[in-house]
Structure 1
Amino acid sequence: MEWVCPICNGMASYIVKCSDCGNQMDARGAIEDYFDDYSPYLDKSITQRIDGVEGHRCVHLFYCPNCNDDKRIPVNQIWM
């Protein structure tokens, strides 16, 4: 068994509204995929050590195409 992110593994989706304009924000994936050119290809156990959150959480990026705002939302991982 291991800790997994429900969004990264397609078990859940989040709907986030922009705090500026109220539009639905686009889910852009885990923030660790944006660290550098190779980070999407690294093992999650490596990149999750440097995402800035403690415990079993995965930070996801949401983007508003209307006002160009973005949000980072920590998602609790589940034990599977």
Structure 2
Amino acid sequence: MDLVCPLCNGFKNIEVSCMVCGENMKDGGLVSDYYDDYSPYLPISITSRTDGYPSDQCVHLFYCPECGKDKRIAIQKERV
């Protein structure tokens, strides 16, 4: 069985409220996709080693479309 991120794979959605204005934040995807121009095209097995989080977590960037505040949230990977 493999460990996969339920958000990346569309198994789950989570709602996160902005800590500044209270609006629902949007999932901007993996934090590692923002490292440089080629990061989104690299295998997750490579980029997940550089984010400083345990390998059983996937770090997503949530952002507020209203005020622009962003927040990193570690999502626990699940076995499938």
In the superposition, the TM-score normalised over structure 2's length comes to 0.94
After the TM superposition, which parts of structure 1 deviate over 2 Å for at least 4 consecutive aligned residues? none
Please give the root-mean-square deviation of Cα atoms over the aligned residues, in Å. 0.9
Counterpart for residue 73 of structure 1: 73
What percent of counterpart residues are identical?
A: 51
Counterpart for residue 61 of structure 1: 61
**1:52 corresponds to which letter in structure 2?**
G
In the superposition, the TM-score normalised over structure 1's length comes to 0.94
Gaps of 5+ in 1: none
Counterpart for residue 19 of structure 1: 19
Gaps of 5+ in 2: none
Query: Are the counterparts in 1 of residues 31 and 72 from structure 2 also a CA contact under 8 Å?
Result: yes
The superposition leaves residues 13-63 of structure 1 with CA deviations (integer Å, 9 ceiling, x where unpaired) of: 111000111000111111111111111111110010011212400000111
